[in-house]
């Protein structure tokens, strides 16, 4: 048996390891560029067209015509004579002017009326015209006398009076009314503009008004809940007749609201005295910004305005009743049909 030579295994050399080549970083010098310089931009000058304003036209001024006082008759005659004869006219004009001035001065001091005669013309021997003036004659006019001055009597009919009470710069009572007093159906006093409010006796719920010996007062009160107010007391002393009405409830309105009654309020007092207040509107305790609040109108001012809402309400109520009855009848008929089936 033939022996073969042994094969040697190939030599395995270790890999060749080269050291890592580390190149230094390439460093470039900083490049510094010079700044760019642009040439300045030169714009042409801007030329605006000239502004042309329209010519200003003022309205023409119209002056009133000058009116000269009329020339006196003597001066006018003297100027006429001077124009006809220049040699002798100057002397005559001076004489006429002097006489006219004298007569005017005497009129203003003695209240007399002076009448001047017209100049007369006389012919002369040399052919020239001579103007002569006569002396003015004075006639005394009666001086007017002024009669005695008379005072106008106060109005006998009541007037619309407005009363306002202010406390601490706040208005708390405001009353507007036109009133008068009657006794047994006869008017005994009319409240005119001469009746003034007594500030010392008035307050936020009491109004006291008087003129000479005639006085009257209105007192307002609040209800238990302080939600509304009303006129509760009236006292009067008219022509030495005293009367009052207490514990009454007239014109009730909510607080911060007002009560208005143009048809009038009649308050009956003792001694057969009646106070009538026409076109009355009042507000007590609280008045916002000094003006009346929302007005509660009395029944007398409503008139026919109440009938219309009542009629409309009745018509709507009847219509609702008819609809309900028709619904019930229709429902009952449907029930009978189901039973028949």
Q: How many domains does the chain have?
A: 2
pLDDT, averaged in runs of 10, over the chain (341 residues): 68 69 65 78 85 84 82 66 47 41 39 43 46 47 46 62 92 93 92 93 93 93 90 93 92 92 92 92 91 88 70 90 91 68 55
**Can you give the CATH number for the domain in which 181 is found?**
2.40.160.110
Domain co-membership, 80 together with 198: no
Cite the beta strand spans of the chain per DSSP E. Answer: 113-115, 120-123, 129-132, 137-139, 161-167, 170-183, 186-190, 196-197, 206-211, 214-222, 228-238, 241-245, 250-254, 258-261, 265-268, 273-284, 295-297
pLDDT at 48 (0 to 100) = 82
Average pLDDT, the chain: 76
Nearest to 143 by CA among 110, 114, 116, 115: 110
Euclidean distance between CA atoms 120 and 74, whole angstroms = 11
Kindly report the pTM of this predicted structure: 0.46
Asked if residue 154 belongs to a domain, the reply is: no
Radius of gyration from C-alpha coordinates of the chain: 58
pLDDT at 3 (0 to 100) = 64
Task: Report the DSSP pairing between strands 295-297 and 258-261.
Answer: parallel
Domain co-membership, 167 together with 290: yes
pLDDT at 74 (0 to 100) = 67
Domain hosting residue 175, numbered range: 161-304
Asked if residue 173 belongs to a domain, the reply is: yes
Domain co-membership, 202 together with 88: no
Asked if residue 7 belongs to a domain, the reply is: no
Domain co-membership, 286 together with 192: yes
pLDDT at 94 (0 to 100) = 42
Domain co-membership, 173 together with 265: yes
Asked if residue 239 belongs to a domain, the reply is: yes
123, 129 contact by CB (below 8 A) = yes
Domain co-membership, 209 together with 280: yes
Asked if residue 321 belongs to a domain, the reply is: no
pLDDT at 100 (0 to 100) = 45
Asked if residue 78 belongs to a domain, the reply is: yes
Asked if residue 109 belongs to a domain, the reply is: no
pLDDT at 27 (0 to 100) = 67
Asked if residue 95 belongs to a domain, the reply is: yes
Domain co-membership, 165 together with 299: yes
Domain co-membership, 289 together with 166: yes
Domain co-membership, 181 together with 77: no
Domain co-membership, 80 together with 201: no
Domain co-membership, 300 together with 169: yes
pLDDT at 200 (0 to 100) = 92
pLDDT at 261 (0 to 100) = 92
């Amino acid at each position: 048996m033939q022996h073969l030579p042994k094969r040697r295994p190939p030599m395995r050399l270790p890999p060749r390891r080269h050291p890592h080549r580390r190149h230094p970083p390439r460093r470039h010098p900083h490049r510094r560029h010079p700044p760019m310089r642009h040439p300045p931009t030169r714009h042409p000058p801007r030329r605006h067209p000239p502004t042309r304003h329209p010519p200003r036209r003022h309205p023409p001024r119209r002056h009133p015509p000058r009116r000269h006082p009329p020339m006196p008759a003597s001066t006018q005659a003297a100027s006429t004579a001077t124009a006809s004869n220049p040699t002798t006219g100057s002397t005559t004009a001076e004489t006429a002017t002097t006489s006219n001035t004298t007569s005017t001065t005497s009129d203003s001091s003695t209240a007399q009326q002076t009448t001047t005669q017209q100049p007369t013309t006389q012919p002369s021997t040399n052919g020239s015209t001579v103007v002569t003036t006569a002396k003015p004659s004075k006639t005394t006019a009666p001086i007017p006398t002024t009669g005695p001055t008379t005072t106008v009597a106060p109005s006998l009919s009541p007037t619309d009076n407005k009363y306002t009470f202010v406390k601490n710069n706040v208005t708390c009572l405001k009353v507007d009314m036109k009133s008068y007093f009657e006794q047994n159906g006869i008017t005994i006093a009319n409240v005119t503009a001469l009746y003034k409010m007594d500030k010392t006796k008035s307050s936020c719920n009491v109004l006291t008004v008087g003129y000479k010996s005639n006085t009257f007062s209105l007192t307002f009160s609040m209800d238990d809940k302080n939600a509304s107010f009303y006129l509760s007391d009236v006292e009067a002393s008219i022509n030495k007749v005293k009367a009052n009405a207490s514990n009454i409830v007239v014109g009730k309105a909510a607080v911060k609201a007002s009560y208005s009654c143009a048809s009038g309020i009649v308050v009956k007092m003792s001694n057969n005295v009646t106070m009538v207040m026409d076109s009355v509107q009042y507000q007590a305790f609280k008045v916002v910004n000094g003006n009346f609040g929302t007005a509660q109108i009395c029944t007398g001012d409503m008139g026919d305005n109440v009938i219309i809402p009542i009629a409309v309400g009745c018509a709507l109520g009847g219509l609702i009743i008819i609809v309900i009855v028709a619904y019930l009848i229709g429902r009952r008929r449907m029930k009978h049909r189901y039973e028949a089936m």
